[in-house]
A and B are shown apart, each in its own frame.
Chain A
């Protein structure tokens, strides 16, 4: 079973609307990170939120973390066509070893 799992798998919205993506995980974490990937390119780091934080902002991005529900959300406000990409959460689990896992991603399409 996957540690990080995004929901929905795909999301299509109009420019100017807000986009919300969710990530659920199974084990205790040190931190959770969100990344963006444009088609066939490398990933770009967006935000890192630590287990003792509940909310972080960066420009039009807002990330929340609920450790009791083992879930995180990424909100993109006032979306633009350039936000079209795949968004991944990655969890750094407590413990040593193979603990850094990416979810399968949410494919966001922002239509002009």
Chain B
């Protein structure tokens, strides 16, 4: 256990559905991240939150909407997804965002868009 939990672990959704991924960290960290890992592609950083404020949005389509109500919780709201959005979505946290301290990852949510 890394101290970062993600739910659900698996999700199958249609292109017209709306769903949310949840991440919670119990490490007292101030920065949280969403990554996308597709087959045969490097891990892609999607969003960064530092002290609940979004500090990075790496040109992610608007059908992905993050929410960070506090430093311990991070959500990724999904709507009108495409089949190419099927991937493993990983949440991570670190002590701070600046200087990129080591990141602690959750187990991921395997998303399949049908």
A33 and B90 within 8 A (CB): no
Contact size range, A? 20 to 34
B43 and A42 within 8 A (CB): no
Indicate whether B108 reaches chain A with its CB closer than 8 angstroms.
yes
Q: Which residue of chain A has its CB nearest to the CB of B99?
A: A30
Partner of B42, one of A41, A97, A105: A105
Mostly, the A contact residues are strand
Q: A43 vs B7: C-alpha distance in the bound complex, in angstroms?
A: 16
Q: A97 vs B105: C-alpha distance in the bound complex, in angstroms?
A: 21
Q: Point out the residues of chain A lying under 8 angstroms from B30, CB to CB.
A: none
Partner of A42, one of B4, B56, B99: B4
Partner of A98, one of B56, B100, B110: B56
A43 and B105 within 8 A (CB): yes
Query: Which of B66-114 touch A at CB < 8 Å?
Result: 88, 90, 92, 99-108, 110
Chain A residues proximal to chain B, CB less than 8 Å = 2, 30-31, 33, 35, 40-45, 48, 88, 90, 92, 97-98, 100-105
